Structure 1
Amino acid sequence: MRVSPIALAAATVAAFGATLVAAAPAQASTGILDCESWSSTIWCSVSGPATTVKWTVNGNYAPAYDNKYSISFSCLRGYSNTVKAVKTYNGVPSTETRSIVCSALPPR
C-alpha cells in the first residue's frame, strides 16, 4: 500500500501535536485583572477563583491589599502605573500584570 506524502505529513503533525498537548503542565484558572482610572484614582479588581491574592503596585508589594479582590489608590495624572496580582488557587500561583496611565477625567 502506498501512502501519499500529504497523508504522511498530516499524520506526523497530528502525532507531534498530541505529544505537545500531553506534555503541557496543568494551568490554574487565571481569571481576569481589570484596571480603570478616573478622577486621579486607579481601581483594579481580579476575578476567578483564588485562595490568596497578593498585590504589587509600581514594583512595591502592598500587604495592606492582601486577599482583597478589588483595590484603589490615588495617582498622578499622566503617569503610568503598573499593578500586579498574584493569585493562588489549589496551591498553584498565577500572575497577571496591567499598566495603566492615570486619568483626571471624571467617570464615564
Structure 2
Amino acid sequence: MHHWGRRELEVDVIHYCGQEHDNPYDNNAIAVFSDTEMRHKVGYLRREDAVGLKNVYRHIKGKCYLKTKLAASKFNRLKGPIQICNIGFKCDDEHVADVRQYLNGYSFKVC
C-alpha cells in the first residue's frame, strides 16, 4: 500500500485506516489517522489501493492498521510524501478465501 499526505508518517509507528464514504472527491477514499479514536487525519491511501480494499472492508473485524515500512521515497508539492506501508486487519476464517481473491495482485500473507 502507498500512503500520501501533507507530512511523512513516522516509520514503525502504527496508524489506523477508515473509509470515508462522504468524501466529496472520492467515495472509495480511505483516510489514515494517527490516533485510535480516528479523529486526527494525517493522509489517505492511494486511490488505486483504496479501490482494491473496498470489498475487503466488508470482512474486517475491528480496526484496520497501517504501518510505514520506509521513509518517503518521493515528494510532490501537490500530493505530499508517498510512502510504502503495510496494512493489517482481522477477519473471520470463513472470509479468508474472499479476502485473498480481492487482494489478488498484492503481496500479502495471512497470519
- TM-score range for the pair, normalised by the shorter chain length: under 0.3
TM value normalised by structure 2: 0.26
Determine which structure has the larger strand proportion and give its number.
1
User: Which has more radius of gyration?
Assistant: 1
